[in-house]
Amino acid sequence: MVEALQSPEFIFNEATVRERWGLEPFLEGCAARGLSRASLWGEEVDKAGLEEARRMLSRTGISTFGFNRAGPLLAAGAAGRAECLDRARRAVDMAAELAADHVLVFSGGLAEGSRDLAGARAQTEDAIGALLDHARSVGMTLALEPLHPMVAGDRAVILSLSHANAICEQLGEGIGIVADAYHIWWDERLETELSRAGAAGRILGFHVSDWLVPTKHVLRDRGMMGDGIIDLAGMWRQVRAAGYDGPVEIEIFSDRWWAEDPDLVLDTALARCRSIFWGG
Amino acid sequence: MVEALQSPEFIFNEATVRERWGLEPFLEGCAARGLSRASLWGEEVDKAGLEEARRMLSRTGISTFGFNRAGPLLAAGAAGRAECLDRARRAVDMAAELAADHVLVFSGGLAEGSRDLAGARAQTEDAIGALLDHARSVGMTLALEPLHPMVAGDRAVILSLSHANAICEQLGEGIGIVADAYHIWWDERLETELSRAGAAGRILGFHVSDWLVPTKHVLRDRGMMGDGIIDLAGMWRQVRAAGYDGPVEIEIFSDRWWAEDPDLVLDTALARCRSIFWGG
């Protein structure tokens, strides 16, 4: 029992098996392994329909942890951005309908032809402020997840915990950060910024996969935990030391693992996580 | 004449045409275009032999700007690192023999099986300190070039201008930074850190290529200036505002451009640079 208490809660992000499983088999796969929470994607909820998705959650006894996602927020022109913001508000509403713990905010990349990263950052910060007003009104928490600098401009403009923390500090309550090991492990400010977020009670989630050498694709070549060079156990100690007591969320974007039997993926991931994080 | 004075000096890094040209055609290609400096690689100098390389430089009227490179500095075990340091000292000596402006320092990545990025950073900092003693003794300047976080652990542990600046500030005279647009363009601290380096007179070089979307390879898919999403003109303004008055160095690692006729590559790059940086 002592060991069991020391083990973190492990949960899956649906994207890990998205190529071969829809929402229902995913939730059943989680439930079959004794898990009680999962992180979902709006596209999959849309395919099932919101009411049916809620029934699946209820039937499997799974509750929603992270909801993906509100965004992109960036577009060319004020009208385009207003439309993005409307869609993001609806994503926040869906997260609330699913009783998610938090909704991930996705800035998206530069508008076609633009090279103005600083301008895009300012627009993103404005949009997050507006989205937060709405999120507060429906009782949903926004999560900023800095993405790896290799997707800068293409898919994201918030590329460090420092930037995400600064936005949170400016905006106040109802917004925090998700620390995804894959995106932030390289940062020499990592421990400082985790402490900064933790001190304010703002760490909402901790995502894991691994960094492979060589990395063959900038989006779809994340590794199974243990197959790469990230010190995941060390980062988990930092995240816990910063006060986080939530689950370890497994989120692997990988052509290699998407091609595998999803049951094998879940079992492999859980075995790896138990080995890496147990008692950590 | 006024326009000519406003144009930056453009120079080439030999790596840009390394697949099809050796040292001599490269230097001749630079000279034919009226350039008077170039950045070289030790491997190519070794192929020609140091004395012959010096004769080629003299004959073409090209002087050495950056010399690549001192490192890797990281290896498993103290003996391995001592050996690396010896080789790095010899690279510094070669840079001095070639009267280079500065020698690029290359940390290399984690030792096989290691996940200790913080430890590798500390070892790298120690090695740079030792290397700097030697560099001072032969009158050579060390250049820290932060590499993109997508090569973290694999090829580098100095991944931001902030970290490079902090090392320089700790070590004092004889060491500075090279700002390579490709590696640092995404950083929200960019302008601040360029100013910090510039205020101390520590910007030794400014390298350009471009960030392609999508990026198909983490090492060999840099873009021709203008083909990507980096605001090169804006970064050049920041670099100049920080006090840098050296050349714009064209350094493109690219399977696509390596396959082209090197004359075409040089002409294309110069035309693009004139369009982007002229009067900037």
Considering only CB atoms, A121 lies closest to which of B153, B188, B218, namely B188
Give dist(CA A143, CA A132) in Å, integer: 10
Give dist(CA A171, CA A164) in Å, integer: 11
Report the chain A residue with the minimal C-alpha distance to residue B163: A188
Residues of chain B with Cβ-Cβ distance to A149 below 8 Å are 148-150, 186-187
Report the chain A residue with the minimal C-alpha distance to residue B150: A150
Instruction: Tell me the two tokens of residue B120.
Output: 């590798």
Residue entry with tokens 């508008």: A111
Confidence at residue B51, expressed as pLDDT on a 0 to 100 scale: 98
Instruction: Tell me the two tokens of residue B90.
Output: 């010899």
Read off the pLDDT of residues A78-96 as tens digits, 9 standing for 90 and up: 999 999 999 999 999 999 9
Cβ contact, residue pair B185, A148, below 8 Å? no
Residues of chain B with Cβ-Cβ distance to A114 below 8 Å are 229
Confidence at residue A280, expressed as pLDDT on a 0 to 100 scale: 44
Considering only CB atoms, A153 lies closest to which of B115, B160, B186, namely B186
List residues bridging with B63 in a β-sheet.
Answer: B37
Considering only CB atoms, A229 lies closest to which of B153, B188, B214, namely B153
Dihedral (C-alpha) A57, A61, A63, A67: value to the nearest 10 degrees? -40
Mean pLDDT in residue range A34-51: 97
Considering only CB atoms, B148 lies closest to which of A149, A185, A213, namely A149
Residues of B contacting chain A (CB within 8 angstroms): 109-110, 114-117, 121, 148-150, 152-154, 159-160, 162-163, 185-189, 211, 213-215, 218, 229-231, 234
Report the chain A residue with the minimal C-alpha distance to residue B213: A154
For testing the chain A interface, which of B194, B216, B230, B231 should be mutated: the one with the most A CBs within 10 Å? B231
Report the chain B residue with the minimal C-alpha distance to residue A157: B186
Give dist(CA B227, CA B164) in Å, integer: 28
Q: Classify A181 as helix, strand or coil.
A: helix
Cβ contact, residue pair A150, B148, below 8 Å? yes
- When the pLDDT of each residue in chain A is averaged and rounded to a whole number, the result is 96
Residues of chain A with Cβ-Cβ distance to B124 below 8 Å are none
User: What's the angle, vertex CA A59, arms to CA A58 and CA A63, rounded to 5?
Assistant: 40
Considering only CB atoms, B231 lies closest to which of A116, A160, A213, namely A116
Please say whether the beta carbons of A94 and A42 come within 8 A: yes
Question: Tens-of-pLDDT digits for all 280 residues of chain B?
Answer: 444 446 899 999 999 999 999 999 999 999 999 999 999 999 999 999 999 999 999 999 999 999 999 999 999 999 999 999 999 999 999 999 999 999 999 999 999 999 999 999 999 999 999 999 999 999 999 999 999 999 999 999 999 999 999 999 999 999 999 999 999 999 999 999 999 999 999 999 999 999 999 999 999 999 999 999 999 999 999 999 999 999 999 999 999 999 999 999 999 999 999 999 985 4
Please give the interface size between A and B, counted as residue pairs whose CB atoms are below 8 Å apart: 83
Quote ipTM for the complex: 0.95
Residues of chain A with Cβ-Cβ distance to B218 below 8 Å are 150, 214-215, 218
Report the chain B residue with the minimal C-alpha distance to residue A213: B154
**H or E segment and range at residue B19:** none
Cβ contact, residue pair B148, A153, below 8 Å? no
What is the secondary structure of A105-160 as a DSSP string? Answer: E------TT---HHHHHHHHHHHHHHHHHHHHHHT--EEE-PPPGGGBTTTBS--S
Confidence at residue A278, expressed as pLDDT on a 0 to 100 scale: 83
Cβ contact, residue pair B186, A117, below 8 Å? yes
Domains of chain B, start order? 9-181+189-274 (3.20.20.150)
**Strand intervals (E) in chain B:** 10-13, 37-41, 63-70, 102-105, 142-144, 175-180, 203-208, 248-250
Distance from CA of A230 to the nearest CA of B (A): 6
Considering only CB atoms, A231 lies closest to which of B116, B160, B187, namely B116
Residues of chain A with Cβ-Cβ distance to B116 below 8 Å are 231
Cβ contact, residue pair B117, A185, below 8 Å? yes
**H or E segment and range at residue B140:** none
Q: Which of B11, B67, B38 is nearest to B277 (CA)?
A: B11
Q: Which of A49, A39, A144 is nearest to A88 (CA)?
A: A144
**H or E segment and range at residue B243:** none
Cβ contact, residue pair B149, A230, below 8 Å? no
Question: How many Cβ atoms are within 10 Å of A178's Cβ, its own excluded?
Answer: 27
Mean pLDDT in residue range A232-258: 98
Please say whether the beta carbons of A106 and A156 come within 8 A: yes
Give dist(CA B177, CA B167) in Å, integer: 10
Distance from CA of A213 to the nearest CA of B (A): 6
Report the chain B residue with the minimal C-alpha distance to residue A190: B118
What is the secondary structure of B166-233 as a DSSP string? Answer: HHHHHH-TTEEEEEEHHHHTT-TTHHHHHHHHHHTT-EEEEEE-B--SS---TTTBPBPTTSSS--HH
Q: How confident is the model at residue A101 (pLDDT cuts 50, 70, 90)?
A: very high
Residues of chain A with Cβ-Cβ distance to B109 below 8 Å are 213
Cβ contact, residue pair B187, A163, below 8 Å? no
User: What's the angle, vertex CA A184, arms to CA B71 and CA A243, rounded to 5?
Assistant: 130
Read off the pLDDT of residues A142-192 as tens digits, 9 standing for 90 and up: 999 999 999 999 999 999 999 999 999 999 999 999 999 999 999 999 999
Phi (first) and psi of residue A65, to 5 degrees: -95, -90
Confidence at residue B7, expressed as pLDDT on a 0 to 100 scale: 84
Residues of chain B with Cβ-Cβ distance to A189 below 8 Å are 162
Please say whether the beta carbons of B37 and B11 come within 8 A: yes
Cβ contact, residue pair B159, A186, below 8 Å? yes
Considering only CB atoms, A163 lies closest to which of B114, B188, B229, namely B188
Give dist(CA B159, CA B88) in Å, integer: 20
Give yes or no for residue A19 having a pLDDT over 50: yes
Considering only CB atoms, B160 lies closest to which of A116, A188, A211, namely A188
Q: Which of B1, B3, B9, B4 is nearest to B244 (CA)?
A: B9
Q: Which of A186, A229, A218, A252 is nearest to B217 (CA)?
A: A218
Considering only CB atoms, A188 lies closest to which of B114, B163, B234, namely B163
